[in-house]
Amino acid sequence: MTSLSPIDLANALALVGVVILIAALLSGLVERSGVPQVAIFLALGAALGPAGLGALDVGLETPALHIAATISLALILFTDALALNLREAREHRGLALLAIGPGTLLSAALYGAAAWWLLELSAPAAAILGAAVASTDPVLLKGLLRRADLPPAARHALRLESGLNDVVLLPIVLLSLAVAQRGALSPAAWSQLGLDLFLLGPGAGVLVGLFGLATLDLMRRRIGVRRDYESLYSLGIAFAAYAAAESVHGSGFLAAFAAGVTIAAFDVELCDCFREYGETTAELALLLTFVLLGSSLIWSGVMIASGRVLAFVALVMLARPAIYLAAFAPTRVEPRARRLVAWFGPRGLSSLLLALLPVFAGAPEGPAVFQLASLVVLVSIVAHGGSLVWLGRRSSSAPAADAAGGPSGGGAANAETITVAEVQALLAAGAPLVPGDVRKEEALWESSVQAKGARRLSPDSAARDARVLGLPSDAWLVLYCT
């Protein structure tokens, strides 16, 4: 085993530090402008790569890329599952089934068939590429899902799709990879593969999730758990689930998703930091991976552009809108929501991570699959990222809606924040509204001023305190912290 020199370690820490600093400093600008954050970090990778300063040169065989990609994919799957609102999934199961069935699976099948016919890839490699480019990226979708004017049906469909589609596509990649490596499998080999993928991996994840929740609850009641360490606990569960599954020859990625779903299903009251810290860490891992890929690897997709390749990319970009518009046609979803769901299927790091799995496994066509997925991702960042910027400018130039209707006519219910004018409009309209004071203790000491009728809620457990106080579930709960 080669040792890491002090210079290499310093360079690695410098890269991580730069990613964190830039992500924090530009977070406000990214949120306001709608510019995809990943585009900024791809540009940073290019500036540091061989074509720029020459400070970063990452190849497909670089161990750091393997580690960063594995951590990123495991955390994506875990945090996607953890963020799933199972009640929302049940209430909108029709949207979820349309997004995952005709949407994700039909798209993956069509892309795979096109890759086999147009690009002359082998059937397993074509299936892997089709599944990879059918994956939607949660980081690129985050800016859209935060928009106050996004129709509720579109928000539900896109949120459910981004949370569920990777776990549907990952088994396609893993099964196709097994065929690509081993050739034709006997019935016994298929049975063993199914056992490893669909029982041992998810089973290990469920067990780790249950054990993690039970242990956390026990320690809370016996000796107490600090909130800041509870946030780190989420990462421990994700990594432990991955390692447990790999130790029994299951899929660590499916285990990470199963652990997240287990926690979401039990609906245990956890501090907001539990999920938020995991999501933030996952996003930083994603951005770091984008910098590594942006140094040179992702641009290799441009080098293979040809008539057939560009035809495949065009099919990938245009087939999704056609499939989704047809799938949602019989529903009562409003036309604007249908168009948004149909168009916004951005490909990003999720696609690249799935395409890297055959590379790491040493599959013969792995590099070709990665290059093709890279070109699709680059085109998607330009097309879908540009659409987000255009939507942001359009909404900012549109006339403001009346206060009672909320921003952009979407109502205050669609916004993560609410203005004082919107609160006054809700009160004037007679809407039930309860102010919630979630200021930290230091802020309370400095000022005793409180909103009229406000109820004091802990900033770390506002939802639990609201239930304990018996606050009406059909009322607006407006939280303020300053």
Q: Two tokens at 2?
A: 């080669």
Domains of the chain: 11-397 (1.20.1530.20), 407-480 (no CATH)
Does residue 445 carry a pLDDT above 60?
Answer: no
Does residue 397 carry a pLDDT above 70?
Answer: no
Q: What is the mean predicted confidence (pLDDT) over 294-319?
A: 91
Does residue 173 carry a pLDDT above 70?
Answer: yes
Query: Which range, of 68-72, 166-170, 304-308, 329-333, averages the lowest pLDDT?
Result: 329-333
Instruction: Return the higher-pLDDT residue of 381 and 414.
Output: 381
Q: Two tokens at 16?
A: 């991580």
Is 432 within 8 Å of 477 (Cβ atoms)? Answer: no
Q: What is the mean predicted confidence (pLDDT) over 342-350?
A: 83
Instruction: Return the higher-pLDDT residue of 362 and 266.
Output: 362
* Per-residue confidence band for 128, with pLDDT thresholds at 50, 70 and 90: very high
pLDDT digits (tens, 9 = 90+) for 46-95: 888 888 778 788 888 888 889 888 988 898 888 888 877 777 777 778 88
pLDDT digits (tens, 9 = 90+) for 98-121: 878 878 899 999 999 999 999 999
The pTM of this model reads 0.77
Q: Where in 20-114 does DSSP place strands (E)? A: none
Kindly list the distances between the CA atom of residue 69 and the CA atoms of 63, 74, 124, 426, 482, in Å, as whole numbers in the listed order: 10, 9, 22, 47, 39
What pLDDT, on the 0 to 100 scale, is given for residue 480?
73
What pLDDT, on the 0 to 100 scale, is given for residue 448?
57
d(CA 107, CA 321): 10
Does residue 22 carry a pLDDT above 70?
Answer: yes
What pLDDT, on the 0 to 100 scale, is given for residue 114?
95
Does residue 205 carry a pLDDT above 80?
Answer: yes
Q: What percent of the chain has pLDDT over 90?
A: 22
* Per-residue confidence band for 206, with pLDDT thresholds at 50, 70 and 90: very high
What pLDDT, on the 0 to 100 scale, is given for residue 252?
92
Kindly list the distances between the CA atom of residue 9 and the CA atoms of 6, 44, 289, 311, 349, in Å, as whole numbers in the listed order: 5, 20, 17, 43, 25
Query: Exposed e or buried b for every residue in 262-289, given b needs 16+ CB within 10 A?
Result: bbbeeeeebbebbbebbbebbbbbbbbb
Does residue 401 carry a pLDDT above 50?
Answer: no
What pLDDT, on the 0 to 100 scale, is given for residue 33?
64
What pLDDT, on the 0 to 100 scale, is given for residue 228?
66
Q: What is the mean predicted confidence (pLDDT) over 113-142?
A: 90
d(CA 403, CA 424): 8
What pLDDT, on the 0 to 100 scale, is given for residue 153?
82
Is 228 within 8 Å of 45 (Cβ atoms)? Answer: no
Is 128 within 8 Å of 358 (Cβ atoms)? Answer: yes
pLDDT digits (tens, 9 = 90+) for 115-124: 999 999 999 9
Instruction: Return the higher-pLDDT residue of 43 and 185.
Output: 43
Return the closest-CA partner of residue 137 out of 353, 422, 437, 451: 353
Nearest-10 crossing angle of helices 6-25, 272-294: 120
Is 49 within 8 Å of 296 (Cβ atoms)? Answer: yes
Does residue 312 carry a pLDDT above 70?
Answer: yes
Tell me the backbone φ, ψ of residue 477, rounded to 5 degrees. Answer: -110, 105
What pLDDT, on the 0 to 100 scale, is given for residue 176?
92
Does residue 477 carry a pLDDT above 50?
Answer: yes
Instruction: Return the higher-pLDDT residue of 285 and 465.
Output: 285
Does residue 393 carry a pLDDT above 70?
Answer: no
What pLDDT, on the 0 to 100 scale, is given for residue 313?
95
Instruction: Return the higher-pLDDT residue of 115 and 198.
Output: 115
Does residue 402 carry a pLDDT above 50?
Answer: no
Query: Which range, of 75-89, 210-224, 297-311, averages the lowest pLDDT?
Result: 75-89
pLDDT digits (tens, 9 = 90+) for 258-286: 998 898 887 665 555 556 666 777 777 87
What pLDDT, on the 0 to 100 scale, is given for residue 26?
73
What pLDDT, on the 0 to 100 scale, is given for residue 221?
81
Residue 359's Cβ-side half-sphere holds a number of Cα atoms within 13 Å equal to 24
* Per-residue confidence band for 233, with pLDDT thresholds at 50, 70 and 90: confident
The SS3 assignment for 476 reads strand
Return the closest-CA partner of residue 11 out of 52, 58, 51, 46: 58
**Mean residue pLDDT across the chain:** 79
What pLDDT, on the 0 to 100 scale, is given for residue 12?
66
